[in-house]
Structure 1
Amino acid sequence: MMAPPVRQTARELRRLQTRERILGAAIAEFQASGMTGADVGAIVSAAGVAHGTFFFHFPSKEHVLLELEQREEARMAAEFARYLGSAHDLASALTKMVVLISGLEQRFGPLLFKELLALHFSPTRPSSDEWSDHPLIVLLVGEIERARGDGEVHPEIDAFYSAAFFLLGIYGVLTTVTRSDIRDAMLANLITTARRGLEAR
């Protein structure tokens, strides 16, 4: 016998809506001022909630950023997984990863994007830092392992380190290069270099 679907109560729904309003207001404030410079007063005013309501939902500004990072990573991972489900090769998968991460930087702007990366690599991050808890890198590692199994990639290649170095390369270009023509050329070169470095000889 199947259990009946759990219905959300009106109170739970209001709580979720309040959380979403706070998150949306915090994103706008972080885009304008960065996380450190963000004013909780401005966030609660924009969200139309009391000051204590912010801290009920998020113990700190870092927790807002953490939730945003987890949501965006899950969204990008779902899109990447859909892409990997269609016909592709390793080069096009690497290109898709660049497109996904570049798209995040364009949507959030350079300041919030850098804040997300700073949290991602922070030693005081209020969450697990196991790479296996990050679906995007798990998928990229799996893709490199698939390509190695298909003979596209040298058998001695370490999939995790290759994926990590590739992602760090993308982050490096996006956070240090502002001219779009130079940035595009560097990202294209990063894909080419990564692919050649992984190729079975």
Structure 2
Amino acid sequence: MTDASGKPQGREAQRLRTRDRVLDAAITEFARTGSAEADIAAIAEAAGVARGTFYFHFPTKEHVLLELERREETLLAQKLGRFLRGEHDLRAALAETVRLVLALERRLGNTLFRELLAVHFSPNRGDGDPRDFPMIATVATEIENARDRGETRDGIDPYHAALFFLLGLYALLATTPDNRAMRAAMLDSYLTTALHSMER
């Protein structure tokens, strides 16, 4: 049941609140131990629910990671979208993308962030079209706009360029040590190389 504004009411609202509590407790446990070692009983206790309630909302631990990824990617795309409403060029847009992803990594911690990347690239996903991912769609739209502004080559495919840029960024973060100076140099080089591959 929903109210006039479309917000869930009654039992549906309670179900969603319980799901959010379970998800938050699972995220805390995953960040502490990693998903493989996470204790479902501890998650249920922290959320104030029965163990079976965890499995009702999230049949597997991977479902928790998929939900977290969906939530965080949507949030990243919203933040990037706000940045893109201001004056910027393609370099600034891609640099902000890198900054937002790095901020997410710091907030989640290395263990949970790398597990999100693992589930992102999991062959079991079957999610289909990359255009359905909010960050890919947002970056692709920006590359398309940059093409219209004359910043990139006419023949560039915005979705492929966005996909390659984000995949490269995620792979770089997943495989480099957490050394700020080293990473800063590598990311700056990566950004320059990505731009050169798109520029006129």
Do Structure 1 and Structure 2 share a fold, with TM-score over 0.5?
Answer: yes
Partner of 2:45: 45
Letter in 1 for 2:167: L
Partner of 1:171: 170
Equivalent-residue separation in structure 2 for 1:169 and 1:7 (angstroms): 38
Partner of 1:137: 136
Equivalent-residue separation in structure 1 for 2:96 and 2:47 (angstroms): 35
SS class of match (2:109):
helix
- C-alpha spacing 1:46/1:4, structure 2 compared with 1 (3 Å): closer
The answer (yes or no) to whether the contact 2:117–2:174 under 8 Å persists in 1 is no
Q: CA deviation at 1:6?
A: 4.7
State TM-score, norm by structure 1.
Answer: 0.91
The answer (yes or no) to whether the contact 2:62–2:119 under 8 Å persists in 1 is yes
Unpaired segments ≥5 residues, structure 2 = none
Equivalent-residue separation in structure 2 for 1:161 and 1:167 (angstroms): 10
- C-alpha spacing 1:4/1:13, structure 2 compared with 1 (3 Å): closer
Q: CA deviation at 1:128?
A: 1.8
- C-alpha spacing 1:93/1:5, structure 2 compared with 1 (3 Å): closer
The answer (yes or no) to whether the contact 2:73–2:135 under 8 Å persists in 1 is yes
Partner of 2:153: 154
Letter in 2 for 1:181: A
The answer (yes or no) to whether the contact 2:19–2:57 under 8 Å persists in 1 is yes
Identity of aligned residues (%): 49
Equivalent-residue separation in structure 1 for 2:147 and 2:9 (angstroms): 49
1:2-41 matches, cutoff 5 A: 4-6=4-6, 8-41=8-41
Partner of 2:80: 80
Q: CA deviation at 1:15?
A: 2.0
Equivalent-residue separation in structure 1 for 2:30 and 2:168 (angstroms): 24
RMSD: 1.7
State TM-score, norm by structure 2.
Answer: 0.91
Equivalent-residue separation in structure 1 for 2:155 and 2:134 (angstroms): 24
SS class of match (1:79):
helix
Equivalent-residue separation in structure 1 for 2:107 and 2:156 (angstroms): 34
- C-alpha spacing 1:166/1:4, structure 2 compared with 1 (3 Å): closer
Partner of 1:66: 66
Deviations 1:68-101 (A, max 9, x none): 1111111111111111111110000000100111
Task: State how many pairs are aligned.
Answer: 197
**Quick one: higher RCO (CA 8 Å, sep 6+), 1 or 2?**
1
Unpaired segments ≥5 residues, structure 1 = none
